[in-house]
Copies of this chain bind each other. A is one copy, B any other.
Amino acid sequence: MDELTERQKLVLALIVRDYVETAEPISSGRLVDHFRLDFSPATARNEMAILEKSGYLDQPYTSAGRVPTKKGYRYYVGKLMGDDQLPLHVQEMIRHQFYQARHDVDNWLSLSASVLAQHSRGAAIVTPLHTEKARFKHLALLSTRGRQVLMVIVLNSGEVHQQTLVLEENLTQSQLTALATRINEFAVGLEARDLQEIEFETRNPVLEQIFQLVLETIQNLEVVATGEIFRDGFTNMLSEPEFSEPEKARQTLEIFEDRVILDDLLSRTVFNSEGSGVHVIIGGEDTWEQLEDTSLILASYGDRDHALGVVGILGPLRMSYSRGVSTVRFISDLMSELISESMGS
C-alpha cells in the first residue's frame, strides 16, 4: 500500500537532495524550476501532498515548503540513492596519504578519522581493533625505570596490549626475560578460559603476580573495548545550521564525547549484524532517544576472523548520505586491506 509511483520517487529524491544542500524547506515552484521538471508546480504539489500523507514529507508550518521526514530519508537511503563510489582521483589521493604515513595501525586509525571528517564533512569516529576471542601469543617484560616494568601482551589476532606495572622487588632485565620465557612456554595459543584453569604453582611470588596480571588483562580484553576512540571533525557539525540552537549542539556533542553511549551504539549495531556492509542509522531509528536529531553511518573494518573495529561518521539528519556512505565504505575497505596486508599472508 505504500507503493510509490516513479514520479513520487523522483519528487522525494529531489527534495532530499535539494534540502540537504540548502537546509531550507523546498517549495513546489523551486523544485520544478531548479530541476527543470517536465510537469507543473501544481502537479508537484499534488505529489507532495500524497507523500506527506504517507509520512515521507513534512511541513514546518501550514504554508511552507516540504522537508523530508525520517521515513523519507530512510526510503531515500534504501531505494533511491545510488551507491556511488568516491571519485577515482579522490580515492588515489587518500590511498597516497595512507601509504605516505607511518605503517602503524594506531597511526592509520587517527588518519582515518581525519580523512573521514574532511571528506564527509561530518564528525568522525574510529574505534581501535577489538578481538572477541583472545588467544595469548607472546609476552614481553621490559624494565623501564626502577621497579617499573612494561608488560606487552601480543594476541594472535595481532592485537597488542601494553601496561606498566610496579613489582614488589627490583629485577634486572635478564631476570625479567627469563620470567617471560617461562610464561610464554606454556601459555602460548591458549584462551582466557584455558589459562584460568591452569594450576600454576611456584615458589616465586613475582612470577605469580605477573601471571595473574596477564590473565586479568586477557579477560578484560574480551569484555571491554580498550584503547582510545579516535574522533575528529566535530567542528564540521557545529557549522551546520541545525546546531544554531546551542542546546541541540550540546546534546549531540554529548553523544560524541560519551564513550559509554558510543560503545553501546557501535557494538549493538555493527558487531551484532552479519554482512560487512555499511549501516545507516537515521535519527536513532526509534531506539536511541538521544539520537533524535542525528544520523550515523557506520561500517566495520578488519579481518572478520580476527579483530574488528568500527569507522563511521555522525551528522545531522540532513546530511549527505551518498557522500557519507561512499566515504565510510571506502575507508573501511581501505583499512581492512591495509591491515590484512600488514598481517602478511
Instruction: Report chain B residues within 8 Å CB of A165.
Output: 103-104
Pairwise interchain contact B142-A152, C-beta atoms closer than 8 A: yes
Pairwise interchain contact B228-A173, C-beta atoms closer than 8 A: no
A250 interface contact, C-beta 8 A: yes
Q: Given the complex of chains A and B, what is the CA–CA distance between A230 and B250 in angstroms?
A: 20
A343 interface contact, C-beta 8 A: yes
**How would residues 146 to 170 of chain A score, 1 for a CB under 8 Å from any chain B CB and 0 otherwise?**
1110101010111010111110001
**How would residues 69 to 109 of chain A score, 1 for a CB under 8 Å from any chain B CB and 0 otherwise?**
00000000000000000000000000000000011110000
Residue from B105, B147, B162, B235 in contact with A254 in the complex, judged by beta carbons closer than 8 Å: B235
A42 interface contact, C-beta 8 A: no
In the complex, identify which listed stretch (A12-20, A32-40, A48-56, A241-249) lies at the interface while the others stay far away: A241-249
Instruction: Report chain B residues within 8 Å CB of A143.
Output: 138, 154
Pairwise interchain contact A257-B235, C-beta atoms closer than 8 A: yes
Q: How far is the CB of A263 from chain B (nearest CB, A)?
A: 14
**How would residues 121 to 159 of chain A score, 1 for a CB under 8 Å from any chain B CB and 0 otherwise?**
000000000000000011010111111101010101110
Residue from B144, B238, B345 in contact with A137 in the complex, judged by beta carbons closer than 8 Å: B144
Pairwise interchain contact A343-B146, C-beta atoms closer than 8 A: yes
Residue of B with least CB distance to A108: B164
Q: Given the complex of chains A and B, what is the CA–CA distance between A146 and B154 in angstroms?
A: 13
Q: Given the complex of chains A and B, what is the CA–CA distance between A250 and B173 in angstroms?
A: 50
Residue from B140, B147, B152, B228 in contact with A228 in the complex, judged by beta carbons closer than 8 Å: B228
A344 interface contact, C-beta 8 A: yes
Pairwise interchain contact A104-B170, C-beta atoms closer than 8 A: no
A232 interface contact, C-beta 8 A: yes
Instruction: Report chain B residues within 8 Å CB of A166.
Output: 103, 342, 344
A321 interface contact, C-beta 8 A: no
Task: Give 28 A-B contacts (CB < 8 Å), ordered by A residue.
Answer: A102-B163, A103-B164, A104-B163, A104-B164, A105-B164, A138-B143, A140-B142, A140-B152, A142-B152, A142-B154, A143-B154, A144-B158, A145-B157, A145-B158, A145-B343, A146-B344, A148-B158, A148-B342, A148-B344, A160-B162, A164-B342, A228-B228, A234-B234, A235-B254, A238-B250, A238-B253, A239-B246, A243-B246
- Chain A residues within 8 Å of B, Cβ to Cβ: 102-105, 110, 137-138, 140, 142-148, 150, 152, 154, 156-158, 160, 162-166, 170, 173, 228, 230, 232-235, 238-239, 243-244, 246, 249-250, 253-254, 257, 342-345
Closest 5 CB pairs of A and B: A146-B344, A145-B158, A147-B344, A238-B250, A145-B343
